[in-house]
Amino acid sequence: MSALAKPVRAIALMAVLVTGVALTGCTGDSDPKASTTSASAPSSGSSSTPSPSVVPNKDYDLDGLTRPVPQIIETKTDKGQSFGLTSIVRVGEDRVVVSGVLTPATPIKVGTDAEPGFLELAKGGDFSAVTVAKPGDATTTYLPVRDPEGRCLCSSVRPGFDGKPIPVSVVVSAPKDLTGVDLTVSPVGTFTGVKISAPAPTPQLATALGVSQGLIVDSAAREGGTVTARVRLQSFGDTERFVRGVFNPPVIGEQGTCYRSLFVLGGGSKAGIVTKKGCVAGQVPEKDKQVALELSMGDPGGEPLTFIPSDGLPIFGVPSTGTGTEGSADLVDFAFRSKTAAATVSSGEQVSIDLATSVLFALDSAELTPAADASLNAAVQALQDQSCRRLTIGGHTDSQGEAAYNLTLSQQRAEAVKQALGARLGAGWTLDAQGFGETELAVKEEGSPEAIAAAQERNRRVEVTACSPA
């Protein structure tokens, strides 16, 4: 999908899984190696795998299992909410997963935890206002990975979580040479000098979900480009029955609910997601019960496998049977993203660069400002680092003002960027410029005044897209 034809709704790929009893046992442990404690084994002590007689989608007893308790490295609090960091773990050459326990404010302020300019889910938001940077150097920040439609690999934060500690995670871009980072989680603050760890197998492959739930991966089988996972969804407290599933139309509104709250990584940029055909209809188990489910998703290739549930902490080092080969379907590619000055670079199947016009141009002007130099230079560096030499430059405005005026202004701004990049890149490049005005908004301008302002800011942009190599 061209970066000039993105859908208008940026939706978090990860789903919400909400329960109603507070998480207990979180500590202020300063051990940087701490991650999660293990879940107790079933009372039989023989295996964590349910008996073959267990019927999928039917409740049965927890059989002595206990909920894993996240061990917190450091906590920061501001504006009525807090975030306790549990780990930063490398899950690919150019990405890490940031995990922790978030306690939203009461009442919750929807969208506070979302990356600016990415509209929150209907009545909710995503945990994506998270960046990392080289320690002591914030010249370039690294952003959550996103797919061509703007979706992130991140947890949801929705009404109903008010004041309740919930485990959350987000996959964030991080160059392979970084072994430690400064981590900024908005709005609570910055964690400095945090070590990036290698993935170690999660004890008993068990993790905490929501406010009072848990998840265990019992097995993973790989065949024909598909991963089939056997999991157990557990309730350790009273359950609030919210819809669970990937918020990815047309899932919402289907008859019943389906558990699509798990995706799988294999060390690359692609994630396997549970599709409609692999979806299991059912309900969250009652208190002190668990249910066995079998889910199918695209195989991302590579190993070891990492499973990341919605509103839960990752499960690392999941062993698998069969042969792992990258599937041709049910996979989503999530691009590495970075920001230098006003240039946001997405390096996926093709390189695209968003240049914020609020920095490049004065109000109602198509003349580049001196402040544009840093952003243009960052764009040139990213373009020279890839092989394509054909660029499409698209100018865009927000929806304020007359459509005809916006169209003309966007064309003039696209031409100005074309000339500036052409002069910097030199010979051997083909550049085409076009203005779109307000016809291709990146996100809808709706919601709270703050959300509208952030959306308008993101919509005012010049997009530079490099073709796939010929």
For the segment 305-345, what is each residue's pLDDT rounded down to a tens digit? 999 987 789 999 999 999 888 877 779 999 999 999 999 99
Overall size of the chain counted in residues: 470
- Count of other CB atoms within 10 angstroms of residue 175: 15
Per DSSP, the three-state class of 322 is strand
SS3 144: strand
Superfamily for domain range 341-466: OmpA-like domain (3.30.1330.60)
How high is the pLDDT of residue 344? 96
Rounded (10°) CA dihedral 403, 406, 407, 409? 160
Residue 137: CA count within 13 A, CB half-sphere: 6
> What residue ranges do the domains of the chain occupy?
59-322, 341-466
Comparison of pLDDT for 315 and 114, the residue scoring more: 315
Q: What is the pLDDT of residue 281?
A: 57
Q: Looking at residue 261, what DSSP letter applies?
A: -
The pLDDT tens digits for 411-448 are 999 999 999 999 999 999 999 999 999 999 988 888 88
β-pair type (335-340, 137-146) = antiparallel
Give the mean model confidence (pLDDT) for residues 369-395: 95
